[in-house]
Amino acid sequence: MLEQATAWFRANGDIVWGLTICSAVMFVGTLLVVPILLARIPEDYFLHPPRLQTQGWDARHPLTRVTVRIAKNILGVVIVVAGLAMLILPGQGLLTVLVGGLLLDLPGKRGLEVALLRRPHVYRAVDWLRKRANRPPLQLPPPA
């Protein structure tokens, strides 16, 4: 089995190098982007019901709103996939999945986000990142 795996790696060196470079880029990218995005979330974001449209975009042309919404969801999917990969590769997997999930427009999303944030190690990490950005901790609704 080990010999087959070694032979595959030797035969597919380009794929292995490509995956290694992608992993390194995702790792560095999440180290830079995830803290910025987590710091930008309003502290009371999870206490209010989700809005269908964000303020400011309501007055824009419908095509602009749809284009931005599609781009936001595509970015969210890419970030979630990168976060899932980081669960086994180097990187901040759970935090990256959380940030990607915040960008997606999915039914039931809010409950999943709150459930993920209720995990003590995730909340501590988010709180630590927000403290470093001089932002107050996120407020969560009381458990149902």
Per-residue pLDDT tens over the stretch 12-52: 888 878 877 877 887 787 778 878 888 888 998 888 876 65
pLDDT (0 to 100) of residue 36: 87
pTM: 0.58
CA torsion 27-32-33-35 (nearest 10°) is 110
pLDDT (0 to 100) of residue 52: 53
pLDDT (0 to 100) of residue 92: 74
Tokens representing 114?
Answer: 């709150």
Q: Could you state, in order of their start, the residue ranges of all structural domains in the chain?
A: 2-132
Confidence of residue 91 (pLDDT cuts 50, 70, 90): low
pLDDT (0 to 100) of residue 83: 82
Instruction: Please give the average per-residue pLDDT across 90-110, as a whole number.
Output: 80
95 C-beta neighbours (distance < 10 Å), count: 21
Instruction: Please give the average per-residue pLDDT across 81-94, as a whole number.
Output: 78
Tokens representing 3?
Answer: 């010999």
Instruction: Please give the average per-residue pLDDT across 46-59, as a whole number.
Output: 66
CA proximity to 117, closest of 141, 135, 134, 136: 141
Q: Checking phi first, is residue 111 left (phi over 0); if not, alpha (psi -120 to 50) or beta?
A: alpha
